[in-house]
Each structure stands twice: as C-alpha cells, then as structure tokens.
Structure 1
Amino acid sequence: MPGHFEPLPGGGAAVALDDVEISIIRSLAVQLLELIGPGPAEEPTDDPLAELFADGPSEPPSDPVLRRLFPDAYSDPEGTAGPRQAEEQRASSAEFRRYTENDLRAGKRDNALAVIRSLDALSPAGDAGAVLRLSPGASQQWLRTLNDLRLAIGSRLEITDEDDSDLLYHLPDEDPRKPMVMAYLWLGGLQETLVGTLMP
C-alpha cells in the first residue's frame, strides 16, 4: 500500500502516508485554498433565490494557475476562429463564467478542505506513518483535489502537453524546478492509483 491507493471492501480507498508525504499534501492543499481565495462575503439575506443567482466574475483570472483551474468554457485552441466568432466566444465565456465560477470555486475549496481535514484526523501508525482510509465520497474529493494540485503545479512548470511531461524526467538534480517536478510526478502516481480503485 505505501505510495499508492488500494480499494477498500465496500468502496472507498486507502493509502499509507508517512509524515513527510502528509506534510507535503497538506501544505499544497493549503496553498491551493489560498490561491482560490475566500468565497463571496457571507451576508445574510432574506432572499435565498437572489443568493443562488449571485453574479460571479465575467473576466478570466489574471493568474495563469487560476486560468488553468477555471478555463474559459468557449475557446478556440486551434486559433481558427475569425474575429466575429472569437468575440462571440469571449462573450459566451464571460456569461458562463459569471454564473458558474463562484460555485466552481466553492466546490474546489470544499474538496481541498476535506483533504486537509482527513489528513489532520490521521493517527500515526508507527514508522510507516499512517493509513488514510477514505469513503467513496471522500475518495472523489481527494481525486478532484489531486487533479487541481497537478493542474496548478503543471501550470507553474508550463506543462502544456505530454512532451513537456517527458522532459521533466530528465531534469538535472540542480535544476530549481526539480522539487516541484517530483511533487507533480508523485501526485500523478497517487491520482492514477486512486482512479484505479474507483473504477468498477
């Protein structure tokens, strides 16, 4: 079990984590929370319907990591759209973002908080660290947060395709990106084994 998730009887997943691994995941999840930022101001309202339809931002985030976590819903990655079509895509993306980004941010915050709380609740199990046991629902939250962490780190490392990932394996040890690369690859392994445990 060390270093990878295994299925639990009846659903869910388990993984053995040592103190360093727990500290790394927790630190990254806290940084993710800080990056996503707090939710809208919590002001009590008598109109729950108005609260449900509160407007979010209409412009993409300026931070490249946040742009990766909250991409435009309509875009032209190939760059083949004409000026009019590109403008329509920008307008559609702005409208979509306005009504969805607040909820997306709240969901990512909830997932990251669930990861932090599950790590904080772990009891040490000797030299092996601790065994994290997750329910099916908590496994999904972990999976989403691991994905967000990899997207965030991948964005900082400027990974845009599989070829970029392959280059990371050959970085010299003295490269300042090496620790981030190691975290990226390790989280990818965790994510892959967690996906495997959740597949029927």
Structure 2
Amino acid sequence: MAGHFEATPDGGAAVALDEVEISILRSLAVQLLELVGPGDQAAEGSDPLAALFAEGPSEPPADPALARLFPDAYGNDDKELREASSEFRRFTEIDLRARKREDALAVVRSLDSVTTGEDGSGELRLSADESRQWLGALNDLRLTIGTRLEVGDDDQGQEGSLYRLPDSDPRKPMVLAYLWLGALQETLVETLMS
C-alpha cells in the first residue's frame, strides 16, 4: 500500500504515508487554500436568499494558475462567446471556489487526523465522500503546479521531459511533487473504480 491508494471495505480508500509525505501534502493543500482565497463570506445576519443569488466576478483571473482552475466556459474566440463566458462565471465561480476550498480543507483535516507510529509512517483512511474530495483537490493541485511548470493540454510527452530534469534545476522539487500527485491521483481513481 505504500505510495498508492487501496480500496477499503466501506467503499473508501487508504494509503500509507510517512511524516514527510503528510507534511508535503498538507503544505500543498494549504497553499491551494491560499491561492483560491477566502471567498465571499456572508455577513452575519445577512439575507440568506440574497447570498444564494450573489454574483461573482465576470472577468477571468489574472493569475494563470487561477485561470486554469476557473477557466472560461465557452472560450474567448469572439465577442458573443466572451459575453456568455462572463455571464456563466458571474453565476458559478463563487460556488466553484467554495467547492475547491472544501476539497482542500478536507485534505488538511484528514491529514491532521493521521496518527504516525515510531517509524514516522501512518495510514490515511478516507470514506467514499472524502475520497471524492481528495480527487478534486489532487486534480486542482496538479493543474496549479502544471500551470506553474507551463505544462499545457497540448504538450504531448512534456511529462517525459520533466523526468529528465537535472537535479540542479530549480523546478525539480515542483516537478517531483507534480509527478507524485499524479501517481496518487491515478491510484485513487483506480481504487474508486474497482
């Protein structure tokens, strides 16, 4: 089980992690929370109906990683599509940001609950719902890191070149995290599909 998820009888997943892996995953999830931002909090005593119909931003984020996490719905090829994307963003981004925050927070909370033994390793056990939140957060982390590494959708074989980076390359730790998160995500998907 070390390094990859396995199915649990209750429909969830489990993985063995050591203290360093727990620390890295927790740090990345906290950074994702900071990147996504605190969101729009309803003022105490505010109208819940008004909060339900609150509008978000209409323009895509300037940060490329955030733009990847919150892409335009319809592209930006012409004025009509840009306007449709703007409208879609206004009514969906608040909820999407909230879900991304909930997923990242679920990662932090579950990692905080892992008890490690004398050897520094422990077992993370996730329910089916927590597993889905982990999938969302792992995907968001990979998209963010991939954007920072300038890995695009059209980059066939780009990951292969990432394996060959020299140890002296300052991107190497980020590349290793990107590849490791991909392996975790893949085994979690396989586990949940079995």
Counterpart in the other structure of 1:101: 93
Counterpart in the other structure of 1:114: 106
Counterpart in the other structure of 1:12: 12
Q: Flag as ranges the 4+ runs of structure 1 deviating above 6 A.
A: none
Question: Following the alignment from structure 1 to structure 2, what is the Cα–Cα distance between the partners of residues 126 and 141?
Answer: 29
- Scaled by the length of structure 2, the TM-score of the pair is 0.95
Question: Following the alignment from structure 1 to structure 2, what is the Cα–Cα distance between the partners of residues 117 and 49?
Answer: 30
CA RMSD of aligned residues (A): 1.2
CA contact (8 A) 1:13 1:139 kept: yes
- Tell me how far 1:173 sits from its aligned partner: 1.1
- Tell me how far 1:50 sits from its aligned partner: 1.6
In structure 2, relative to structure 1, the CA distance for the partners of 1:46 and 1:67 (3 Å cut) is closer
Number of matched pairs:
192
- Structure 1: stretches of 5+ with no match in the other structure: none
% of aligned pairs identical?
Answer: 66
Question: Following the alignment from structure 1 to structure 2, what is the Cα–Cα distance between the partners of residues 34 and 135?
Answer: 25
Structure 1 residues 26-45: aligned runs within 5 Å: 26-45=26-45
CA contact (8 A) 1:45 1:51 kept: no
Counterpart in the other structure of 2:148: 156
Question: Following the alignment from structure 1 to structure 2, what is the Cα–Cα distance between the partners of residues 47 and 40?
Answer: 14
1:155-186: CA deviation from partner (whole Å, max 9, x where unpaired): 00000123222210111111111110000000
Question: Following the alignment from structure 2 to structure 1, what is the Cα–Cα distance between the partners of residues 138 and 11?
Answer: 19
Counterpart in the other structure of 2:24: 24
Structure 1 residues 28-177: aligned runs within 5 Å: 28-45=28-45, 47-75=47-75, 81=77, 86-127=78-119, 129-160=121-152, 161-177=155-171
Bigger shift: residues 103-112 or 167-176: 167-176
Q: Counterpart of 2:31 in structure 1: which amino acid?
A: Q
CA contact (8 A) 1:3 1:15 kept: yes
1:45-104: CA deviation from partner (whole Å, max 9, x where unpaired): 55322211100000000000000000000016xxxx5xxxx1111100000000000000
